[in-house]
Structure 1
Amino acid sequence: MAQQVIVVTGPAGAGKSSVAEALCERFDRMLHVDVDVLRHFVRAGYRHPWAEDAQSAEQRELAVRNALAITREAVSSRYAVVIDDIVYGPVVDMYRMFAGDLGAPVHFVTLLPSIDVALDRDRGRSASIPDRVQALHIEFMREAQAGSLPGAVIDTSNDTNAQMTADRVQNAVANGSALFLDGVGV
């Protein structure tokens, strides 16, 4: 995979991190940029990304810009990148605005299992957030049904492991259905 950028998104419990890792295992030169990790670089004044205040919005933009700065450097060094983030609504516009100069095609793939599967995955975490999983799942389903999510939307409810889902992500990238920004002229 030559200098491609794949944004793997979906609600909490969708399997984004596992799929991102499964994608990275397939290639010689690929970074996994976990935006949640970047958000936690804020040690004083941290706000949860779902808080509805100016400081949370500022931190959300900072995390996206930092993820794309890392991505930009990786692409310039001939690495492919998979970004793992919860992207819907106005955050899609942030990616559109800040990712135009990456110098590589940007693909978006939304993993959208059933709510039961997402809640089951969430229960396996040390920091389970079932209320947040439900709220995010509702938002992603609403946007999927409205056709407003960019790229490919994959129902992963019946995927038995992250490798299977990674195959489906690769297929969406290969067939062009996940393309978000083509990288032409950058």
Structure 2
Amino acid sequence: MSELIVVSGPPGAGKSTVARLLAEKYAPSALVVGDAFFGFLRTGYVEPWLAEAATQNETVLRAAATAVNAYVTGGYATIYDGVVGPWMIGAFAQAANVPRLHYVVLLPTVECCVERALARSEDSLRDADAIRQLHREFAAAEFDPRHVLRSDDDPTEQLQLAIQNGSLLYRGP
């Protein structure tokens, strides 16, 4: 059985960059991009940051976690890049159903997140108010602080060491 590493945080936190760099450090590896699962929805889509998207988001998260399970049990170190807030990590872990899950929340400053997100392509979330809202939700969430990296700089090396020493292992609620 291989490792599962969940790289989370608000938009603009650096999840995709860090997840891609981590995936390159393992062989074999799989990089599962959580946002891709929203693309499977055809009708009834609700912007994920809105309160009325809760059921949709739970469904998408379970679908992604099920896919993650296939890669992990198939022998791939699997890096999941997606918005998995502390309020959802338990459901994600249950649906992924793997023995070891490393969980990290990248949480640079809100200004850094907004700046990075607004500099992206047009198909990304570019609503500064929504980005600030998601950042507030992560910042206000109650969970073990060892899972949070607050740097505006690239934390990839620090993250890899934390994974190796097991300090980011998710142990449940």
Instruction: Indicate whether the TM-score tops 0.5.
Output: yes
Unmatched tracts of structure 1, length 5 or more: none
**Match in the other structure for 2:77:** 80
Instruction: State whether structure 2 residue 136 is matched by structure 1 residue 141.
Output: no
Q: Tell me how far 1:181 sits from its aligned partner.
A: 4.2
C-alpha distance in 2 between matches for 1:150 and 1:59: 28
| Percent of pairs with identical residues | 33
Q: Please say if residues 33 and 81 of structure 2, whose CA atoms lie closer than 8 Å, have aligned partners that are also in contact.
A: yes
Per-residue CA shift, 1:57-113, capped at 9, x if unaligned? 2321221111111111112211011111112253123124323x22x4101001010
Q: Please say if residues 111 and 153 of structure 1, whose CA atoms lie closer than 8 Å, have aligned partners that are also in contact.
A: yes
Q: Relative to structure 1, is the Cα distance of residues 130 and 176 closer, same or farther in structure 2, using a 3 angstrom cutoff?
A: same
Q: Please say if residues 33 and 81 of structure 1, whose CA atoms lie closer than 8 Å, have aligned partners that are also in contact.
A: yes
Per-residue CA shift, 1:17-38, capped at 9, x if unaligned? 1111111122221111111110
Per-residue CA shift, 1:110-136, capped at 9, x if unaligned? 101011211110121123221111111
Q: Relative to structure 1, is the Cα distance of residues 26 and 96 closer, same or farther in structure 2, using a 3 angstrom cutoff?
A: closer
Q: Relative to structure 1, is the Cα distance of residues 97 and 154 closer, same or farther in structure 2, using a 3 angstrom cutoff?
A: same
Instruction: State whether structure 2 residue 147 is matched by structure 1 residue 152.
Output: yes
Q: Relative to structure 1, is the Cα distance of residues 176 and 67 closer, same or farther in structure 2, using a 3 angstrom cutoff?
A: same
Residue in structure 2 matching 1:172, options 147, 162, 167: 162
Q: Which runs of 4 or more aligned residues in structure 1 lie more than 3 Å from their structure 2 counterparts after TM superposition?
A: none
RMSD, matched Cα: 1.9
Unmatched tracts of structure 2, length 5 or more: none
Q: Please say if residues 108 and 151 of structure 1, whose CA atoms lie closer than 8 Å, have aligned partners that are also in contact.
A: no
**TM-score after normalising by structure 2:** 0.88
Alignment of 1:126-137 (within 5 A): 126-127=121-122, 128-137=126-135
Per-residue CA shift, 1:5-55, capped at 9, x if unaligned? 0110111110101111111122221111111110121022211112222xx
Q: Which piece of structure 1 moves more, 30-39 or 81-90?
A: 81-90
Q: Please say if residues 20 and 84 of structure 1, whose CA atoms lie closer than 8 Å, have aligned partners that are also in contact.
A: yes
Q: Please say if residues 39 and 63 of structure 1, whose CA atoms lie closer than 8 Å, have aligned partners that are also in contact.
A: yes
**Match in the other structure for 1:41:** 40
Q: Relative to structure 1, is the Cα distance of residues 116 and 84 closer, same or farther in structure 2, using a 3 angstrom cutoff?
A: same
Residue in structure 2 matching 1:59, options 53, 56, 59: 56
Letter in 2 for 1:79: Y
Q: Tell me how far 1:150 sits from its aligned partner.
A: 6.9
